[in-house]
Amino acid sequence: MKSFKGGIHPEENKITTGSLIKEMPAPELIVIPFSQHTGAPAKPLVKKGDRVLVGMKIGEAEGYISSPIHSSVSGKVKDIRVMPHPVSAIPVLSCVIVNDGENEPDPSIKKRTSYDTLSVEELKNIIKEAGIVGLGGAAFPTNVKLSPPPEAHIDTLIINGAECEPYLTADDRLMQEMPERILEGANIIAKILGVKEPIFAIEENKPEAISKMKAAGANVVTLKTKYPQGAEKQLIKAILDREVPRGGLPFMVGVVVQNIGTVKAVADAVIYGEPLYKRVLTVTGDGVKNRGNLLVAVGTLFKDVIDFMGGYTDNTIKLIMGGPMMGISQKTDTVPVIKGTSGILLLKGEQANIPHSEPCINCGECVEVCPMHLVPTLLAKLSENGKVKMANRWGIMDCIECGSCSYVCPAGIKLVQAIRLGKYLLRKERSKK
């Protein structure tokens, strides 16, 4: 049997590293979910028939852990109704907009002549009102992450440029093409946290990004290319040799980690007054005719993005939001790009082979590779049987959904999918209390 003792090494397949970011024109129909973040969905501020403008707030944050939502086009609200969503298993309340193609910006979008004099609270409020959430995956509201409890002594800000997920190159391209903007965003966050100089953590497989960020004046730490190097707790261990306690968060060891796309969004909001209504993502895999990195309006349907890239190739059999390890398989291409869409991956033939599941043979490989020192086989069984309280005791919420366990399982058991279900059920149970 193959051994994974030294960790797993999924093929990188970063075939779009050299593709310049290209702006995709927003299509005629846009679907913007009111829930694109961790926490409570936003409350609609518009109704059927209303005219909206680019960057206009159309959903208000509901509570502390929530985030506002903005229109990515100008046009007319066609409907407010539940629509398929790329992350949620059930349809989500969404704003359906017919784009008038005029691209008329909301008057609130204005470049600031100066932001140096803004207070920490003013900066955090701009970030909150701009609807900025973590663009690396969990989509946690950034203003909340930048408000650690008073007893936390934050001394380090790490900007996560690892992008260890195979195939994805959006962060790599952002660093290559907009290093100054990213550095400005990082310095704004450092000011909010009272940290001297941010540390940029970049894997060694991105030499261009490393050299561009260094040339812009960033403090770069080069990391070994290793999966899942980009997970927060792994980064903190690799750079600072600090261990985040089980069930804990990075602020407990004095650290805040922010993703490259998030940092760029902070600069856009603070300097240019632009809320988060578009993002860079990678469209890739053998299942799509053209591949590349695109700047896409939030709310653009996957099918429109795929059409823009020349359409499907023959025999495309798998559509994933994100990469092959941490991404989420989609049943339909009529789901919209949301703030957390880092990529659209289309696979065909062998690459998309979904192994037939066999019973567990107790080989222990999943335990061996788990970077969080969990017992994936047990967590999956407990989740499938609805025993989520027990799964919680075994640390299910510490799972970073890296997919390493599923990758190595010789029995083809969909461990990470089962664990995701367990986490979802546990959150649901907690929210009832």
Q: Which stretch binds ligand SF4 (CB under 6 A): 48-56, 152-160, 270-278, 364-372?
A: 364-372
Give Dmax over CA atoms of the chain in angstroms.
64
Which of 376, 382, 391, 422: binder of ligand SF4 (CB under 6 A)? 376
Judge residue 41's burial from the number of C-beta atoms within 10 Å of its C-beta, 0-12 exposed, 13-18 middle, 19 or more buried: buried
- Per CB under 6 A, the list member of 411, 421, 425, 426 interacting with ligand SF4 is 411
Q: Which residues of 236-248 are buried (b: 16+ CB within 10 A; e: fewer)?
A: bebbbeeebeeee
- Please give the Cα distance from 89 to 330 (Å, whole number): 10
Which range binds ligand SF4 by CB under 6 A, 61-69, 147-155, 157-165, 358-366? 358-366
> Near ligand SF4 by CB under 6 A, which window of 119-127, 241-249, 258-266, 359-367?
359-367
Lookup: tokens for 344 = 């659209």
Q: Which stretch binds ligand SF4 (CB under 6 A): 79-87, 96-104, 286-294, 410-418?
A: 410-418
| Distance in Å, CB of 232 to ligand SF4, minimum | 12
- Determine if 410 is a binding residue for ligand SF4 (CB under 6 A): yes
In the set 362, 431, 432, 433, which binds ligand SF4 (CB under 6 A)? 362
Task: Return phi, psi of residue 131, to 5°.
Answer: 70, 30
* Site membership for ligand SF4, residue 365 (CB under 6 A): yes
**Residue 325 near ligand SF4 by CB under 6 A:** no
Order of strands across the sheet that contains 219-223 = 219-223, 199-203, 156-161, 255-259
97, 319, 370, 388: which one binds ligand SF4 (CB under 6 A): 370
Which of 111-119's residues contact partners 24+ apart within 8 Å by CB, and which partners?
111/271, 111/272, 111/273, 112/270, 112/271, 112/272, 112/273, 115/188, 115/270, 115/271, 118/270
Residue choice 126, 401, 414, 422 for contact with ligand SF4 (CB under 6 A): 401
Which residue, 227 or 302, is less far from ligand SF4 as judged by CB? Answer: 227
Q: Which of 210, 416, 422, 423 is close enough to bind ligand SF4 by CB under 6 A?
A: 416
Q: How many residues does the chain have?
A: 433
Least separation in angstroms between CB 323 and ligand SF4: 13
Cis link prior to 166 (omega < 30° from 0)?
no
In this structure, how many other beta carbons lie within 10 angstroms of the beta carbon of residue 2? 6
Q: Does 328 bind ligand SF4 (CB under 6 A)?
A: no
Beta carbons within 8 Å of 11's beta carbon, 6+ residues apart: 166
CB nearer to ligand SF4: pick between 277 and 407: 407
How far is CA 116 from each of CA 111, 120, 202, 274, rounded to the nearest angstrom?
Answer: 13, 10, 28, 17
Q: Nearest approach, Cβ of 332 to ligand SF4 (angstroms)?
A: 25
Interface stretch with ligand SF4, choices 15-23, 61-69, 343-351, 396-404 (CB under 6 A):
396-404
Listed ranges 154-162, 211-219, 261-269, 412-420: which one lies at the site for ligand SF4 (CB under 6 A): 412-420
Q: x/- site string to ligand SF4, residues 3 to 42, per CB under 6 A?
A: ----------------------------------------
Stretch binding ligand SF4 (CB under 6 A), from 163-171, 277-285, 368-376, 383-391: 368-376
For ligand SF4, which is the closer residue by CB, 308 or 407? Answer: 407
| Residue 414 C-alpha from the chain's centroid | 22
DSSP state for residue 295 in the 8-state scheme: E
- With both helix axes pointing from N to C terminus, report the angle between 179-193 and 260-272 in degrees, rounded to the nearest 10: 80
How many chain residues touch ligand SF4 (CB under 6 A)?
Answer: 29
Binders of ligand SF4 in range 237-266 (CB under 6 A): none
Of 159 and 374, CB closest to ligand SF4:
374
What DSSP character marks residue 42? Answer: P
**Token pair belonging to 424:** 């979802």
Minimum distance from residue 368 beta carbon to ligand SF4 (Å): 8
Interface stretch with ligand SF4, choices 83-91, 160-168, 189-197, 362-370 (CB under 6 A): 362-370
DSSP sequence for 174-188 = HHHH-HHHHHHHHHH
Q: Are 91 and 37 a contacting pair, CB within 8 Å?
A: no
**Footprint of ligand SF4 on residues 148-167 (CB under 6 A)?**
none
Kindly state whether residue 216 participates in binding ligand SF4, applying the rule CB under 6 A. no
Q: Toward ligand SF4, which CB reaches closer, 147 or 229?
A: 229
Q: Are strands 43-44 and 57-60 parallel, antiparallel or unpaired?
A: antiparallel
Summarize as ranges the residues that interact with ligand SF4 (CB under 6 A): 360-366, 369-372, 374, 376-377, 399-405, 408-411, 413, 415-416, 419
